[in-house]
């Protein structure tokens, strides 16, 4: 009896070790896959705060929570099942879709730069804005809906990058890793966004501490620095987000071209990064990454510049025509 019990304990211990190893493997693969999507995550973190302007301080965190919940639904209810179905039924479509998303990122990033350098006429811009006054609830609903729509595009790219980085030999492992990455990235992004949007309120509280206490003096200085520095931080995040769009999009397309026998641009960037690392070994890894990111950024700029006229002169008019026909059929 004791021998059988010991054998049972031994089997349980073996299963526990296997389960622990499996969990470690999933965690490791999720971390690796999430790192691949870091550029898009930076962009997501940088883009979201712009949707939180013009809200009262009391509504900022609830709005962040609503957008985060919408982002989680995007990833878990729509994008994760779509990614798994695509992996099972049409895995060869993953790379083209990934490259299409990369082209979109290039287009969005370069268009932002183009708009900053060559802004549209102010009167024409004002004419496109809504002039009808809306109540606070409707305004919040519109802002949240717009943020969730933008998040859907960025989340789709994150999930596609993650799927491409996950081994396809085990369906359930794929699903778990995608879910872990989806939840982890959502918590990380919107946790940081919440800290960013409330940092000025924290700074205001610190700046108003009683000057009678000497211990409060450093806190007051920190508070004033937070209040004064947040506009610059948000501006810097916007710049980083735009740059991330361009270099991540360019890198995705360059890597995707390798699957179609056009690997020399990606290999050339890798060789350039290795050469820079050898020239400056004290910061080799960082400089190699910087060189490769710069090269991918140049490729992203070229792709984005090509996409702007294509979108404005071909795709947008075509979409407007299709949309008008759909609306005409509905009203008929």
Q: CA quadruple 58, 61, 65, 70: dihedral positive or negative?
A: positive
- Cα angle 162, 165, 166 (rounded to 5 degrees) comes to 90
pLDDT by residue for the chain (332 residues), tens only, comes to: 444 444 544 544 454 444 344 444 555 555 555 555 655 666 667 667 767 767 777 888 899 999 999 999 999 999 999 888 888 888 888 888 888 888 988 898 898 888 888 876 444 444 444 444 467 788 888 888 888 887 887 788 788 778 777 766 677 878 888 888 888 889 988 888 888 888 888 888 888 887 766 667 788 888 888 888 887 887 787 787 788 878 888 988 998 898 888 889 989 988 998 898 888 888 778 888 888 889 999 999 999 999 988 888 888 888 788 878 887 877 76
pLDDT recorded at residue 320: 82
The upper half-sphere exposure of residue 271, i.e. CA atoms within 13 Å in the direction of its Cβ, equals 6
178, 28 Cβ separation under 8 angstroms: no
Q: How much is the pLDDT for 9?
A: 41
What are the structure tokens assigned to 119, written together?
A: 């802004």
Taking the complete model, does pTM exceed 0.85, yes or no? no
CA distance 188 to 175: 20
| Cα–Cα distances in angstroms (integers) from residue 71 to residues 75, 106, 131, in the given order | 6, 22, 29
Residue 303 confidence (pLDDT):
94
**pLDDT confidence of residue 71:** 92
Cα separation of 139 and 201, whole Å?
Answer: 22
């Amino acid at each position: 009896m004791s021998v059988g019990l010991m054998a049972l304990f031994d089997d349980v211990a073996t299963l526990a070790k296997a389960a622990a190893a499996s969990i470690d493997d999933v965690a490791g693969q999720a971390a690796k896959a999430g790192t691949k999507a870091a550029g898009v995550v930076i962009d997501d973190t940088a883009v979201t705060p712009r949707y939180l302007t013009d809200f009262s301080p009391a509504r900022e965190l609830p709005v962040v929570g609503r957008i985060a919940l919408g982002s989680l639904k995007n990833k878990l209810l729509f994008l994760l099942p779509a990614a798994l179905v695509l992996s099972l039924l049409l895995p060869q479509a993953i790379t083209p879709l990934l490259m299409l998303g990369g082209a979109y990122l290039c287009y969005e990033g370069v268009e932002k730069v183009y708009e900053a350098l060559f802004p549209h006429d102010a009167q024409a811009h004002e004419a496109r804005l809504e002039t009808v006054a809306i109540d606070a609830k409707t305004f919040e609903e519109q802002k949240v809906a717009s943020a969730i729509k933008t998040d859907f595009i960025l989340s789709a790219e994150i999930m596609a990058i993650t799927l491409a980085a996950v081994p396809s030999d085990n369906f359930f492992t794929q699903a778990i890793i995608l879910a872990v990455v989806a939840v982890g990235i959502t918590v990380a992004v919107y946790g940081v966004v919440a800290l960013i949007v409330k940092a000025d309120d924290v700074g205001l509280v610190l700046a108003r501490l009683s000057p009678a206490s000497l211990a409060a003096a450093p806190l007051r200085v920190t508070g004033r620095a937070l209040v004064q520095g947040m506009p610059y931080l948000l501006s810097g995040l916007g710049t980083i987000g735009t740059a991330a769009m361009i270099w991540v999009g360019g890198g995705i397309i360059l890597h995707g071209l390798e699957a179609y026998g056009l690997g020399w641009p990606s290999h050339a960037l890798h060789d350039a990064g290795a050469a820079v690392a050898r020239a400056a070994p004290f910061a080799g890894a960082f400089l190699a990454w910087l060189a490769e990111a710069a090269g991918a950024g140049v490729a992203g700029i070229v792709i984005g510049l090509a996409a702007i006229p294509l979108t404005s002169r071909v795709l947008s008019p075509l979409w407007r025509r299709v949309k008008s026909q759909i609306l005409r059929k509905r009203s008929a």
